[in-house]
Amino acid sequence: MDKKKIVIVDDEKEISDLLDLYLTDAGFEVYKFYSAEGVMECIEEKGIDLAILDVMLPDMDGFSLCRKIRKRWFFPVIMLTAKVEDADKIKGITMGADDYITKPFNPLEIVARVRGQLRRAEAYNPAMAGEVQKEEETVSEAGYYNVRGLELYEKEHKCFLYGEEIVMRPMEFAILMYLCHHMNEVVSSEELFEAVWGQKYLNSNNTVMAHIARIREKLHENARAPKFIKTVWGVGYKIES
């Protein structure tokens, strides 16, 4: 089995070396950079499976690098930074990050987060050869949802809005599918986070809110009057049939 390839971009050599040590020991193939220079070329040449980006880099901030990556690739991105403000977390997620870890950290936690993100990416991005043509009679009820023009094909990880394909990142698609699996039910942020991320929810965690905002943006929704993902204030979110 081929090793998963991880790129680390952090200008603090001690941190990069520490992550390299633990991730290599865990069986990953690691590529290190102390600035954004050369990262895009590495991703292109090596076929990277996950990126760990520091926010503060000498030549480009990690948010901007994440945004550049998201224009071409959809593998998991973990932001690593000393900042702890919720606004910075939300910014990182809206730029395309899948997770956010603050310094100082336990290296074993990083390894666990990496493994978790890779598992979810594989679960929601099944390998597909070529274009899959779907006919109505071949779509199983369990794997297909149509909510007023929003169509979701679970097995194929496909999302269409009024016939136009909308590219959803793994976590975004997972949120939509979880809400669809609980159609007409109000799902709390805590339940969504623990089901999709597989981690314990903290009261100060705005990850779900940021991802919901990103999904709504892709679906061209008005946050004050959403058509698809409804907000039940003080409780959670739901999709109505």
Percentage of residues in the chain having pLDDT higher than 70: 85
pLDDT tens digits, residue range 142-201? 578 888 888 888 888 889 887 788 989 888 999 999 999 999 999 998 999 988 888 777
What's the pTM value of the predicted model, to 2 decimals?
0.58
Helix (H, G, I), strand (E, B) or coil at 206: coil
User: How many angstroms separate the CA atoms of 178 and 180, rounded?
Assistant: 5
Predicted confidence at residue 161, as pLDDT, reads 86
More confident residue, 132 or 73: 73
- The answer to whether residues 9 and 62 touch, using CB atoms and an 8 Å cutoff, is yes
- Look at residues 76, 82, 60, 84 and name the one whose alpha carbon lies nearest to residue 9: 60
Residues 83-109 as b/e (b if ≥16 CB within 10 A, e otherwise) read eeeeebbbbbbebbbbbbeeeeeeeee
pLDDT at 126 over 50: no
User: At 131, is the pLDDT very low, low, confident or very high (cuts 50, 70, 90)?
Assistant: very low
More confident residue, 205 or 107: 107
Predicted confidence at residue 87, as pLDDT, reads 57
More confident residue, 70 or 18: 18
Two structure tokens written together for 142: 């369990």
Q: Which residues contact 107 (CB under 8 A, 6 or more apart)?
A: 18, 19, 21, 22
Start-to-end CA distance of the chain, whole Å, equals 42
pLDDT tens digits, residue range 4-37? 999 999 999 999 999 999 999 999 999 999 999 9
